[in-house]
Amino acid sequence: MKFVKRSLCLAVAALLPITAALAQDIKERSIKFAFQNQKGHPQAEGAQKFADLVAQKSGNKIQVKLFPGGTLGGDVQTVSALQGGTVEMTVLNAGILSSQVKAFEVFDFPFLFATPQEADAVVDGPFGKGLFEKLAEKNLIGLAYWELGFRNLTNSKRPITKVEDIAGLKIRVIQSPIYIDMFSALGAAPTPMPFPEVYPALEQKAVDGQENPFTLIRTSKFYEVQKHLAVTRHVYNPQAVLISKKLWDQLSPAEKKIIDDAADEATKFQRELSRKQSDEALADLKKAGMQVTEFSPAEMQRLRDKVKPVIDKHTAAVGPDVVKQVQAEIAKVRKP
């Protein structure tokens, strides 16, 4: 027994210099992590989980400071800040990155994904990883893909039960060309604006409505200024977790491993939480007084048909090969 104990002690002692060396490779750092959603939203909860994991894995040497609710600006501003190194991290709708790498726009295609699992297969596979690799030349590093969920349409004017009900509504959309084309095709007046401006715009009737997943509608309290919610599930949003390449290039291998491992663990947590909260959020929105409508299967097909020319237009812009690659990955998941 004494021999066994001594052997164990020697083994532990042999590892100590490595641990000490690794500790020397971890510097005191503070990382600014900016994003659009409020505390309580799965995006914010995922960021908090990531921050906690980084602190734990670095022995509290690396502190991730969270800036929720768009306090450091909208998504487009934040991406620019990451490229310049004034903000170190963000998580945002992956489609917004189409201004950096055009192929990211495919993630905003209407009705591309039928389930979250289909999206997971695409973003976690060669396609999603390949897009992240292209970001490096834009001074951005992709760490992981989180989820926001399926987007649905709200407005303050009328219930939406058919495609024609959307026509004439002034709808806030994200700053992405495909969203503008999508709602133009539906006869609405799409109005792109940064997320921090949405609530005041709805409250002041500058726009009639907006479109987002249930969880975001709940945490942003849009139910206070929006009466009607149509369950359209028109776009599913993967979220890209990014870090500034300017910071990334300064990190030691040990620090990069901490960031990577924390991102992987936080991704699992964030996706599970988001999917769990979606149904709960819809129930809460109904309790808050929102009138919820759903399209019939026939009307949903009419909605799909109406936006098909938009898909065709942006397929040509993104590249048919890119779209085929995504569709091939989805087809693998759908096989019985």
CATH number reported for the structural domain that contains residue 187 in this entry: 3.40.190.170
State whether 254 and 289 are in the same domain. Answer: no
* Closest among 90, 206, 203, 202 to 139, alpha carbons compared: 90
pLDDT for 176 equals 83
Tokens of 143: 């760490």
CA-to-CA distance for 334 and 336, rounded, in angstroms? Answer: 6
Question: Going by C-beta distance under 8 Å and a sequence separation of 6 or more, which residues neighbour residue 64?
Answer: 31, 33, 47, 50, 51, 54, 55, 89
Q: What is the DSSP string of 133-172?
A: HHHGGGTEEEEEEEEEEE-EEEESS----SGGGGTT-EEE
State whether 208 and 308 are in the same domain. Answer: yes
Tell me whether residue 306 is in a domain: yes
State whether 68 and 125 are in the same domain. Answer: yes
State whether 106 and 177 are in the same domain. Answer: no
Tell me whether residue 6 is in a domain: no
What is the pairing mode between strands 170-173 and 189-192? parallel
State whether 134 and 171 are in the same domain. Answer: no
State whether 126 and 53 are in the same domain. Answer: yes
- 319 secondary structure, DSSP code: -
State whether 56 and 177 are in the same domain. Answer: no
State whether 47 and 138 are in the same domain. Answer: yes
State whether 49 and 71 are in the same domain. Answer: yes
Q: How does pLDDT run along the chain (336 residues), one tens digit per residue? A: 433 333 444 343 334 333 544 566 899 999 999 999 888 899 999 999 999 999 999 999 999 999 999 999 989 999 999 999 999 999 999 999 999 999 999 999 999 999 999 999 999 999 999 999 999 999 999 999 999 999 999 999 999 999 999 999 999 998 888 999 999 999 999 999 999 899 999 999 999 999 999 999 999 999 999 999 999 999 998 999 999 999 999 999 999 999 999 999 999 999 999 999 999 999 999 999 999 999 999 999 999 999 999 999 999 999 999 999 999 999 999 987
pTM: 0.86
Q: Is 206 helix (H, G, I), strand (E, B) or coil?
A: coil
State whether 37 and 141 are in the same domain. Answer: yes
Q: Strand pairing partners for 77?
A: none
Q: Domain containing 248: what range?
A: 28-148+238-276
